Each structure stands twice: as structure tokens, then as C-alpha cells.
Amino acid sequence: MADNGKNGNQFSVIGKRIAMIDSAGKTTGAGKYTDDLAVPGMLIGKILHATLPHARIAKIDTRKAMLLEGVVCVVVGTDAPNKYGILPVGHDETALAVDKVRYVGDNVACVVAVDEQTAENAMELIEVEYEPLPAYFDPEEAMKATSDLIHDHKANNIEKDYHHVFGDPDAGFAEADEIIEGRYIANEVTHAAMEPHSTLAQFDIDSQTGQPTKLTVWSSTQVPYYLQHKLSIVLDMPMAQIRVIKPLVGGGFGGKSEVIPLEIIAAVAARKAKAPVKITYTREEVFWAHRGRPRTIVDLKTGVKRDGRITAVAAKVIQDGGAYCSYGVVTILYSGALLGALYDIPHIKYDGYRVLTNKPACGAMRGHGTVNVRFAFESQLDELAAKIGMDTASIRQKNLLQAPTITVNGLRVQSYGLPECIEKTVARSAWHARKGKLGRGRGLGIACSHYVSGAANSIIRSDMPHSTVNLKLDRDGGVVIYTGASEIGQGSDTMIAQVVAETLGCTLARVKVIAADTDLTPIDIGSYSSRVTFMNGNAGIRAAQDVKGKMVSAAAKRMQCAPEDVIMRDDFVFKRGVVPEGEEHRAHELLRVRETRKIEDGQVLRDQVQMKRRSDETPEYMSFEEAVAVALSEHRALTGTGSYSPPQEARGGKHKGGGVGPSPAYSYSAQVAEVTVDEDTGVVTVQKVWAAHDCGRALNPVSVEGQVIGSVWMGLGQALQEEMVWKDGLLMNPGLLEYRSASVVESPEIECIIVESVDPEGPFGAKEASEGSLAAAIPAVANAIYDAVGIRLREAPFTPERVLAALRAKKGVAKKIDMTEGVDPTAPERFREHGGSLWFKGKGPKRHAQDPSVVKNPAVAGD
């Protein structure tokens, strides 16, 4: 670790603070997001959403809508009834509802018209006759159901349950000196990415038959290749006839990591309209599309010895998954599998239930599957430390893994920076000097977390590469990278440019990245589970090594030396010894002097392909361009390919890691939060967070810092104010003002401490950086609140109401909390009147001006 620090000359591109290579388009406004796109003849699609949470569709009458001038067609469920969903399970969705609707906001019909206003007007003319069914909003109630199931084949509305036992939990608990059991609840949150979902679909129309043929889809997605696959299923077309292009994406956080209804609906609509169709969600629709983190009920039991060693853990987890499977089977699996890879826990029992309810489907969200269980675990560990009178940092240090190791549930851990993470946050926060000594109302809390660097087992096929990268070098000296990886703001384009430049020994300026276009680029299964740097990066290194081998062999012949004596660095290709040993990082500076002299000697050759020297001279060094020309003369073409799949050893046992739990490497985080609690208002203010993250190697420190800070910030949102508020299946706060992610003035200082454990499997040692820190933030705040005012909050977010209730309970004064208190009771009726919108759709931004009482935000309501 800190390899880069110890030997700052090891790399030229890696480890440097580099601006994102796509920043120009984003900062000047020239960059195009999907909704910025237009093609000739493009129409607009608007989706009519269900106004009931659970109902059979008796009839959809679109005749009046069709008569409206400017309406081209109306698409309904029977236009594309093939079911799709997340691979390889959960094929439970259709483009539009076929037989019944399962949540308020479910997709009923799509109007295609010449403009948005016409489409909105037409929506109000569609007549839908529903036969209401009993609806389920609470997962524990839904599990009891025997009739009116949400999906007929899902008994008791259970999407999936897992029952895993590792080691001997009974024996473990018997050994324990202290045991605590408790229920922890984390309420539902969503991604709230800045860019709303948007999709533009266009078919080629056969000029002879007039029929749609090839399909091109531009979509704001994290998973272009999954989208291509799902479109193939729904449209009954070969994948090779479908091209998916990902324009700039303004954030995903998991909300675009699966195929979202509008993506399928736009394509079905374009087929029916025989014209390009674009659909962009309103912000309200983004909330209904959801796929965020489920409300999770964790019944947790942990036993420890008096010295702090954990002896056993048992968890029962119930997730309120909403009306469709989505990533649910993965979420509930991760919740169990990743219980075991942070600390050395000898015995684990896990019972997980993913439950269907009549609400929008939950899916993957930053820290997928781990966040809510980690909140429970790290909270309970604090309670145990208090019980045995141990420092809460020390109890974590007591339970460290001894890496390299295989965990009790079969996960391979090769690099493990958690000890250093704890050490550094403790030191930077002056933990031992300040913990418990800050006075009433101010406290410190610590928590840890971790995350996968992608899933080791592909959820598609075990024998396919997770990432392939192709390279092309032309005589112009340009390096072109073709990667399927999806830049969604996380920096993957910059990452792949860096690892290729470093491997090839060239400057970043000559590297171009062509990304995320299923026609142009080889497969990468998507930007999710923090897999891109690890897998795409490794594929990129291999592709670069492929090309480098060809360049080195040609250069060796030209310079008359052994291939192993050819060094490529900083745009120079030189014989070992031309610059003094250890000075290779200064090759650019040292050779440039001689280069200048040579250019002065010769004529000016502007094509920059060849250095100035007689062609019969045996060079000792060459420019990168010259080395390319030399290699092209020998090999005719300079292309390279590299693929990566995690090795078998990292894939875990089928019944241990459970299919998707294992990863080729795990990141580790430790955080200390400092909070103040106002005991009169119940308002919790985070003063500062020290966040240490073991990312293996920071390929681009500025990018790692951005990801860690962003993750902590998002965790603080879930800790303090973000919560989806429901009333009979109707979301009461589907707007950014009401959902209340923290603004910049509400956000505390977050000090990021990068820890580099240099993973042996990672690209240049790198592993996950962009999700793992999130999970620690919530329990760190909970633990800090306990330190500040002595109350243990077991339900997130820790709103003023919950804090005040806990303070009162401590004093023996109980009061039930109703999060919908203050909400306009007519909201559901108005929603139905307006054909599926709280916000008077299409009538401009009148939300608060017209009716400020629609949502009275519970977090700011007095008691």
C-alpha cells in the first residue's frame, strides 16, 4: 500500500490527479444527454400511469385519444406482451400492463404524438376501467396473503427467500458472554439522480416494405448490453438487429442499472408509430419508476465474548420489494452474503425474505444490499461494546480478518485495508482524546463497511467475459479504446484511458475512448456493483499488453536489442540504459534534449511520424509515433484485445457465497462522524465525517475522493432526512424539494482518507471506490447520536420526530409517529383526477404556488 507514495516514480499516469477526459462537453454544455437528442421526424411519447395500487384492467378505450389531432398512435400492453425482467430471474414485467396494474404509477398506455402537450392532452382522453383488488403495502402483512396475490405464481407474495447457515450459529451463541437482539428498520430511499431517465428509439424503415427493421436506441442507462437483450426479448428481434447507444448520463446510482419501463415502451412505441419516439420522464415519474433501496426490517442477534470477539450472528431480513422482482433476488442475497466479509465472524445464520407489495419496484441502489443490514450490524456492535464496556473502535479492531483468507461463507479476501482505515480515522478524528468527552449534545461515532468490486459470477452466463476491450493504433499515433463500459459520471472513460496509457507508456493526450455503443464496442456487462474499474480496467490492461507486445517486438528489431530491454514510457520507446537506471520516469525530459538537437540538424518533417534521423541509423530511442510506424511496418495493423472474467477461485461456493455474493476483491471503509443534537428540536447536525476507504490503489485520487465523498453524502441523506413517504401506496413526496436530499449548505465537511492495499487481482492493484463508503455513514451517525445524547435510534432516517420520540421515550413519554401527518388528505383523489399525477402535469411549475399543502414535509414539521 501507498506504493505510489513510497515510489512516486513508479507510474506516469496512474495515481495522478487527472481531470475527467469528458469534462469539456459537460462544462461547456456541448455534451449531449439523451433528452438533448433529436432525429428527423421524431415524436414524443407520454405514459399514462395507473391510479390504483392493485386492479384488474377491464377495458382501455383509446378511441377519443386517437381522434385528437397530432396523436399518431396509442400503445397498450397487448402491443408487446412478452415478459422481461432482470437476468436470469424475475421475468415478470411487460412493456405496459397487460392484465392488471400492481402499483400506483404502473404503466398503462403510451400516447405517441407530435409534441408533449398533445400527448398530455390525449392521455386525459384515454378511458381505463379498473376492477380494484385488495392491495398490500406492508411486507409483513403481504407475506400472510393467500389470495389476490400480486403475481399469481408467487405464493404468500414472497419473491424469494434464502436460508443460509455458515458454521454452527447455535454453538456460537452458546459461547457468547453477551448477546443482544433487536429490530432495526431502514426506510425506503431512492437515487434522485440529476438526469431524469430518457430514451429515444428509432427503427430503420425498409424502403420497400415500409416495415421497421433495425432498431437504434439512445438511452440514459448503466447497462446498454442488458437493454439490448431485453429489447430483443420484448420485440422478438435478434440482438444483432438492435443497437443501444449510451449518450452522456447524469448519474445512475443503480437507478439505471436495469431496464426501466420507458426504455422498452419507447421502442414498442417507435415500432407501432413507424417513427422515432422519445420519452423523458418527468421528475415525478422518476420517483414512480424508483428501483431504489427497499424498506428493510432487520431482526438481528449478535453474541460476543467479554473480550469483544464476535461469536455468532443471526439475521432475519425482510425487504419491502414493491410490485416487481427487479434486482430483488440479488438484493436479499447480498444482504446475507456480505454480512460475513467485513469482520472475522465464525458462525452466521441468515434468513432473508424479499416480499412483493403494491408499490413501485425497488432495485439496486449504491451499496446494493449491504447498507441497511450494515446499519443494523454496526449499531448493534456499538450496543454490545457499551454492554461489555469496551471502546467502540477497539471492538472493531478486535474482530478483524487475517487476510489473505477465505471467510466463513467462502469469500476470498486477498487485500484488506480495514485495519489501516480504522487506525487512520481514529487518529485523524483524535478519537481517543475526544470520544465521550465532547459534552452533552455532541458526540462521535464510528462504523465500518465494505463492498464488492463487481460480482464474480456473471448473472448472464458463466462462460462469458464480463468485459472485453479492443484497441486500435493507427499511423497517426492515436490510441483508440473501444469499451462497452458505461460512463455515468463515475469516471470510467478516464479510468480506461489511464490504464491503457500507463500500460502502453504513452501520454493521455493521444488516447481516445469510444464507449458504450453496442455496435461499436465489445461487451461490458454494465456499470453496477462497482465492477467497471476492476473488470474493464483489467481487460484494458490486457488489450494494451497485446498491442505493447507487438510494438516491443518491432522496436527491439529496429533498435537491435532484446525485447525485454525495450522500455515504453511517456511517449518514448527506448533501450534499457539510454537513460540512467531509476531515471526512466525522466526519459521524456532527458531524451527531449537530444530530440531537439536532432530536429535542428534535420529538415522539418511535419507529419510527426518519424524522428529526424537517417533511415539506416540504428536508433537507441524512438518517439511513440515512430514506434507505431515501425510496428505497423512489421505487423501491418496494430490492434489488441483483452478480456476479463474473475478467476474460479474468487467465485465462492454455490451454497456458500450464493452465486452473486462473491467478488474478486472487496473494498473496506471506516468512518467517524461527529454530530450535534438539538434536544429541543430533535435536529441532528453532522459536523464532520472522517472517511477512510481502502480502494486498493487510487488510479486517480481526485476521482476516488469524489466517489468517497459522494457515497458518504448519500449515506448522510439516508441517515438524516431522505425517506419516501407513502399513503395507501401513493408516494406523497415525489419531487426533489419534498424528498429533500441535502443541499450543499446542509452538507458537512467530509475528509477523505485514501488507503491503498494494492490488491493482487486488481488493475494496478485497484478495487471498489464508489459505493462501499455509503453504508458506514448511517451507523456512524447513529452511534454518534448515542454518544451525544444517549439515545439509540433503530429506525432511519433519524428525523427530528424520531429523535424527539426517542428522547421522550427515554424520559418515559411515548408518542406514535405518523410520517404522513400534515399531508393533504385529498391527495389520492386529486391524483386520480389528474390521470396519474400529483403535480398538474404539463401545466408548469405550479407545485407550491398553487397548493403548498400537498406535502407538508414531516422533517420540518413541529411536534
What letter does residue 408 receive in the DSSP assignment?
A: T
What letter does residue 413 receive in the DSSP assignment?
A: E
Whichever of 188 and 546 has its CB closer to its own copies, that residue is 546
Closest CA to 159 of 258, 294, 254: 294
Q: Does 645 bind its own copies (CB under 8 A)?
A: yes
Smallest separation, CB 206 to its own copies (Å): 7
- How many angstroms separate the CA atoms of 155 and 146, rounded? 7
Whichever of 28 and 147 has its CB closer to its own copies, that residue is 28
Whichever of 105 and 642 has its CB closer to its own copies, that residue is 642
Q: Quick check: 618 and 558 in contact, CB under 8 A?
A: yes
Interface positions, 236-275, toward its own copies (CB under 8 A)? 236, 238-243
Closest CA to 393 of 313, 342, 447, 434: 447
Smallest separation, CB 533 to its own copies (Å): 19
Smallest separation, CB 547 to its own copies (Å): 11
Record the cell numbers describing residue 473, joined without a space: 493504433
Smallest separation, CB 238 to its own copies (Å): 5
Whichever of 238 and 845 has its CB closer to its own copies, that residue is 238
Q: Does 207 bind its own copies (CB under 8 A)?
A: yes
Smallest separation, CB 227 to its own copies (Å): 12
- How many angstroms separate the CA atoms of 431 and 636, rounded? 62
Stretch that binds its own copies, among 33-41, 56-64, 109-117, 736-744 (CB under 8 A): 33-41
Smallest separation, CB 17 to its own copies (Å): 14
* Residue count, binding to its own copies (CB under 8 A): 66
- How many angstroms separate the CA atoms of 529 and 540, rounded? 19
Interface positions, 41-60, toward its own copies (CB under 8 A)? 41
Stretch that binds its own copies, among 230-238, 262-270, 410-418, 848-856 (CB under 8 A): 230-238
Strand partners, 349: 165, 314
Whichever of 39 and 737 has its CB closer to its own copies, that residue is 39
Interface positions, 82-121, toward its own copies (CB under 8 A)? 82
Q: Does 572 bind its own copies (CB under 8 A)?
A: no
- How many angstroms separate the CA atoms of 106 and 731, rounded? 13
Whichever of 608 and 685 has its CB closer to its own copies, that residue is 608
What is the C-alpha end-to-end distance of the chain, expressed in Å? 51
- How many angstroms separate the CA atoms of 365 and 451, rounded? 13
What DSSP string describes 814-851?
-----TTTT--TTHHHHHHHTTS-SS-TTS-S-HHHH-
Smallest separation, CB 586 to its own copies (Å): 22
Interface positions, 446-485, toward its own copies (CB under 8 A)? 463-465, 468, 470, 472, 474-480, 482
Interface positions, 550-569, toward its own copies (CB under 8 A)? none
Burial class (CB in 10 A: 0-12, 13-18, 19+), 144: exposed
Stretch that binds its own copies, among 164-172, 202-210, 280-288, 807-815 (CB under 8 A): 202-210
Alpha helices (runs of H) in 408-474, residue ranges in sequence order: 418-428, 431-434
Sheet containing 479-483: which strands, arranged edge to edge? 511-515, 479-483, 467-473, 638-644
> Three-state SS for 718?
helix
Smallest separation, CB 101 to its own copies (Å): 25
Q: Site for its own copies (CB under 8 A): which residue of 205, 386, 400, 742?
A: 205
Closest CA to 623 of 582, 595, 584, 585: 595
What letter does residue 341 receive in the DSSP assignment?
A: S
Stretch that binds its own copies, among 39-47, 99-107, 494-502, 781-789 (CB under 8 A): 39-47
Stretch that binds its own copies, among 235-243, 370-378, 793-801, 852-860 (CB under 8 A): 235-243
Whichever of 156 and 639 has its CB closer to its own copies, that residue is 639
Q: Quick check: 52 and 132 in contact, CB under 8 A?
A: yes
What DSSP string describes 764-792?
GG----SSHHHHHHHHHHHHHHHHHHS--
Binding mask 491-510 for its own copies (x = CB under 8 A): ------------------xx
Closest CA to 396 of 411, 409, 382, 386: 382
Smallest separation, CB 523 to its own copies (Å): 6
Whichever of 155 and 637 has its CB closer to its own copies, that residue is 637
Smallest separation, CB 518 to its own copies (Å): 7
**Angle in degrees, 0-180, between the axes of helices 261-273 and 224-235, rounded to the nearest 10:** 50
Sheet containing 127-132: which strands, arranged edge to edge? 100-101, 55-61, 127-132
Whichever of 315 and 469 has its CB closer to its own copies, that residue is 469
- Measure CA 608 to chain center: 42
CA dist 437 → 191, 440, 441, 443 (Å): 37, 9, 11, 8
Smallest separation, CB 479 to its own copies (Å): 8
Smallest separation, CB 363 to its own copies (Å): 21
Smallest separation, CB 578 to its own copies (Å): 23
Q: Site for its own copies (CB under 8 A): which residue of 129, 519, 821, 863?
A: 519
Whichever of 240 and 860 has its CB closer to its own copies, that residue is 240
Q: Which residues contact 210 (CB under 8 A, 6 or more apart)?
A: 274
Q: Quick check: 675 and 748 in contact, CB under 8 A?
A: no
Q: Does 632 bind its own copies (CB under 8 A)?
A: yes
Smallest separation, CB 46 to its own copies (Å): 24
Smallest separation, CB 631 to its own copies (Å): 11
Q: Which residues contact 502 (CB under 8 A, 6 or more apart)?
A: 11, 12, 13, 14, 764
E strands along 87-167, which residues?
91-93, 100-101, 107-113, 127-132, 158-166
Smallest separation, CB 224 to its own copies (Å): 11
Stretch that binds its own copies, among 26-34, 129-137, 728-736, 748-756 (CB under 8 A): 26-34
CA dist 622 → 207, 502, 505, 606, 635 (Å): 53, 17, 12, 16, 18
Smallest separation, CB 654 to its own copies (Å): 17
Q: Site for its own copies (CB under 8 A): which residue of 51, 107, 121, 232?
A: 232
Whichever of 479 and 556 has its CB closer to its own copies, that residue is 479
Stretch that binds its own copies, among 56-64, 206-214, 265-273, 656-664 (CB under 8 A): 206-214
Q: Quick check: 780 and 739 in contact, CB under 8 A?
A: no
Closest CA to 762 of 453, 405, 496, 412: 453
Stretch that binds its own copies, among 148-156, 204-212, 255-263, 351-359 (CB under 8 A): 204-212
Neighbours of 213 (CB within 10 A): 12
Whichever of 31 and 835 has its CB closer to its own copies, that residue is 31
Binding mask 586-615 for its own copies (x = CB under 8 A): --------------------xxx-------
Place of cell 441535502: 742
Q: Does 529 bind its own copies (CB under 8 A)?
A: no
Neighbours of 1 (CB within 10 A): 17
Residues in the site for its own copies, rule: CB under 8 A?
19, 23-25, 27-30, 39-41, 82, 204-208, 213, 228-229, 232-233, 236, 238-243, 463-465, 468, 470, 472, 474-480, 482, 509-510, 512, 514, 518-520, 522-523, 606-608, 625, 629, 632-633, 636-637, 639, 641-643, 645
